[in-house]
Chain A
Amino acid sequence: MAITLSILEQGLIYAVLALGVYITYKILDFPDLTVDSSFPLGAAVSAILITKGLNAYLCLIVSFLAGAAAGLTTGIIHVKFKVRDLLSGIITMTMLYSINLHIAGKANLPIFNSENIFSISPLKDYLGGFNTLFIIFLVVLAAKLVLDWYLKTKSGYLLRAVGDNPTLVTSLSKDNGTVKIIGLVIANALVSLSGAVMCQQQRFFEISMGTGAIVIGLASVIIGINLFKTASFLKPTTAVILGSVVYKACVAIAISFGLSATDMKLITGALFLAVLILGNLGKGKKSNA
């Protein structure tokens, strides 16, 4: 039971990150490595503000905005200075590492003794052990609904068009670059929000918590989209969220087979590789048929 709860909690927190990665990877077709640093950025901002006594929910908003700024940086480097997409993300990611350290003040910042979004929840007494899960669920739901709404707006249409067919966006007399920047801003804002929730749930910030975040995000997106491909009634955003939970479950199963926490990243990578290979096998079958 405790394990299931933990899988759901972790999976749903990473689902917010996965929604961000969904925007860059799936919609924009942009391999955005900023994620590895914008995730701990959100955590650092939340952790330090909580220790300073700011309301934990407001911390989430500040973290969200900080992530937006990270995305904006990558976007400007790529669009205005014409640096390749992958490199733009790497540059921002590297620079953010130091900035994250500056924000938190040290590589490890515990917030065990401070209030957080879970401890100040008004429903805490009613929900008992499910309180944390419930709050996380609300955050994911809010992120998903806002994203769903946005993708149905005119601006959202343009965002979807730019990854699909940039020529059309130009023909519509709109600048591709601006649209891409908007996408990166939203994506990294979500990733940072995810980091903020994560740090409040585990009650500490740690500089290396972002290592491999992009892999987790990509794996969740790919699992979600591939696994629920046939379920056309599911929105892609829902599929991505489920993908994240499935992925966390897989990691948990691997660990339960006796692998230690040291092997975490190894499992993360190996599972991602497995997902990619399985995905390709599926494609092969189709083209042979």
Chain B
Amino acid sequence: MLELRNIKKIFNQNTVNETTVFDNFNLSVKKGDFVSVIGSNGSGKTTMLNIICGSLPIEGGEIIIGDRNLTGQKEYKRYKNIGRVYQNPSLGTCPSMTLLENMSLADNKGKIYGLGRGTDKKRINYYKQLLSRLNLGLEDKLYVKVGLLSGGQRQAVALLMSTMTPIDFLILDEHTAALDPKTAEVIMQLTRELVIEKKITAIMVTHNLKYAVEYGNRLIMMCDGKAIIDKSGKEKEEISVDDILDTFNKISIEKGN
């Protein structure tokens, strides 16, 4: 499904600040996988996501999703089959537009944004139905500007919006990091439901080890641009938060932090 081949990423190339994040990094994700990625700051998690989406250029290697080779393709074109939810809840929605307008925008992804009516009135009930499953009372706030909603509500909407149209691949970039524990739990459950129901392949970067262990069928721990833990299936089920913490500590000691 997703294939990263021999990825090479160097920041500030040919300057004193040159930093190599990835040197021959390889990753292969099967269709339907839900991969949790953990790792300390600077280990290359977010860089990896940015490389997949094209927010960052690469110095070498190939990115393949399904049968599409995305290497060198413009960022916006890659998002045709990719959905992404960001750490910052305000990045997934338009604050000055109403909830209904936001939903309508997302609903039209992949189609032409022409001179037809922006909101299809026949779809309003469908949007309400989608929102009501969040149990946040959002189905009654269709005409409220999204900027007035709370971070958790916005993130829930962003998640719905990013999975509204058929996508192959969902990228979750620490999408619960800015939320309170209870809301984070709600968002995580919604994520799981959506991923299973829509049979989406997903990569989730998180700092929450509990979520990494609890959710998904594969766990990757990154360090210095390499996957130092990569467990899937049964092995993944057996791994515990303590195991991961041990590894984290070992790395810290080795690095002298």
Q: Measuring CB to CB, which residues of chain A are less than 8 angstroms from any residue of chain B?
A: 150, 152-158, 160-161, 164-165, 167-176
- In angstroms, Cα B106 to Cα A165, docked, is 13
Could you write out 29 A-B pairs with CB less than 8 Å apart?
A: A152-B117, A153-B117, A153-B118, A154-B105, A154-B108, A154-B113, A154-B117, A157-B105, A157-B118, A160-B94, A160-B97, A161-B94, A161-B97, A164-B94, A164-B96, A164-B97, A167-B86, A168-B92, A170-B75, A171-B79, A171-B84, A171-B162, A172-B106, A173-B78, A173-B109, A173-B110, A174-B76, A175-B76, A176-B76
Contacting pair A157 B79 (CB below 8 A): no
User: Which of the residues B113, B118, B162 comes within 8 Å of A174, measured between beta carbons?
Assistant: B113
Contacting pair A175 B74 (CB below 8 A): yes
Contacting pair B94 A154 (CB below 8 A): no
Closest Cβ neighbor of A164 among chain B residues: B94
Given A154-B105, A157-B118, A164-B94; 15 other pairs, CB 8 A cutoff: A152-B119, A154-B104, A154-B116, A155-B114, A158-B113, A160-B94, A161-B97, A170-B75, A170-B79, A171-B83, A171-B92, A172-B105, A173-B78, A173-B79, A174-B76
B251 at the interface (CB under 8 A from A): no
Tell me what chain A mostly uses at the interface: helix, strand, loop, or mixed: helix
Contacting pair B80 A173 (CB below 8 A): yes
Given A158-B105, A167-B86, A173-B76, A153-B115 contact (CB < 8 Å)? yes
B91 at the interface (CB under 8 A from A): yes
Shortest distance between the CB of B90 and any CB in chain A (Å): 7
Closest Cβ neighbor of A154 among chain B residues: B113
Q: Which 7 A-B pairs have the closest CB atoms?
A: A154-B113, A173-B79, A157-B118, A164-B94, A173-B80, A158-B113, A153-B115
Contacts of B109 in A (CB 8 A): 172-173
Closest Cβ neighbor of B116 among chain A residues: A154
- In angstroms, Cα B117 to Cα A150, docked, is 9
Contacting pair B94 A168 (CB below 8 A): yes
Closest Cβ neighbor of A155 among chain B residues: B113
Contacts of A150 in B (CB 8 A): 115
Contacting pair B86 A157 (CB below 8 A): no
Q: Kindly name the residue among A165, A170, A171 whose own CB sees the greatest number of chain B CB atoms within 10 A.
A: A171
Shortest distance between the CB of A155 and any CB in chain B (Å): 5
- In angstroms, Cα B105 to Cα A161, docked, is 9
Contacts of B101 in A (CB 8 A): 157, 160
Q: Kindly name the residue among A150, A157, A160, A174 whose own CB sees the greatest number of chain B CB atoms within 10 A.
A: A157
Contacting pair B93 A152 (CB below 8 A): no
Closest Cβ neighbor of B106 among chain A residues: A172
- In angstroms, Cα B16 to Cα A283, docked, is 45
Count B-side interface residues using an 8 Å CB cutoff: 34
- In angstroms, Cα B106 to Cα A128, docked, is 52
B192 at the interface (CB under 8 A from A): no
Q: Measuring CB to CB, which residues of chain B are less than 8 angstroms from any residue of chain A?
A: 74-80, 83-84, 86, 90-97, 101, 104-106, 108-110, 112-119, 162
Shortest distance between the CB of B200 and any CB in chain A (Å): 15
Given A165-B94, A168-B91, A173-B110, A154-B79 contact (CB < 8 Å)? no
Contacting pair A153 B76 (CB below 8 A): no
- In angstroms, Cα B169 to Cα A173, docked, is 14
- In angstroms, Cα B146 to Cα A161, docked, is 12
- In angstroms, Cα B86 to Cα A239, docked, is 35
Contacts of B84 in A (CB 8 A): 171
Closest Cβ neighbor of B95 among chain A residues: A164
- In angstroms, Cα B104 to Cα A170, docked, is 16
Contacts of B96 in A (CB 8 A): 160, 164
Shortest distance between the CB of B152 and any CB in chain A (Å): 18
- In angstroms, Cα B91 to Cα A167, docked, is 6
- In angstroms, Cα B147 to Cα A161, docked, is 13
User: Which of the residues A155, A165, A174 comes within 8 Å of B93, measured between beta carbons?
Assistant: A165
Contacting pair A172 B94 (CB below 8 A): no
Contacts of B75 in A (CB 8 A): 170
- In angstroms, Cα B92 to Cα A167, docked, is 8
- In angstroms, Cα B114 to Cα A158, docked, is 10
Contacts of A176 in B (CB 8 A): 76
Shortest distance between the CB of B106 and any CB in chain A (Å): 7
Shortest distance between the CB of A167 and any CB in chain B (Å): 5
User: Which of the residues A153, A158, A167, A171 comes within 8 Å of B116, measured between beta carbons?
Assistant: A153
Contacts of B97 in A (CB 8 A): 157, 160-161, 164
- In angstroms, Cα B83 to Cα A170, docked, is 10
Contacts of A161 in B (CB 8 A): 94, 97, 105
Contacts of A171 in B (CB 8 A): 79, 83-84, 92, 162
Shortest distance between the CB of A162 and any CB in chain B (Å): 9
Q: Kindly name the residue among B76, B77, B95, B104 whose own CB sees the greatest number of chain A CB atoms within 10 A.
A: B76
Closest Cβ neighbor of B112 among chain A residues: A154
Shortest distance between the CB of B178 and any CB in chain A (Å): 15
Shortest distance between the CB of A157 and any CB in chain B (Å): 4
Contacts of B106 in A (CB 8 A): 172
- In angstroms, Cα B145 to Cα A164, docked, is 12
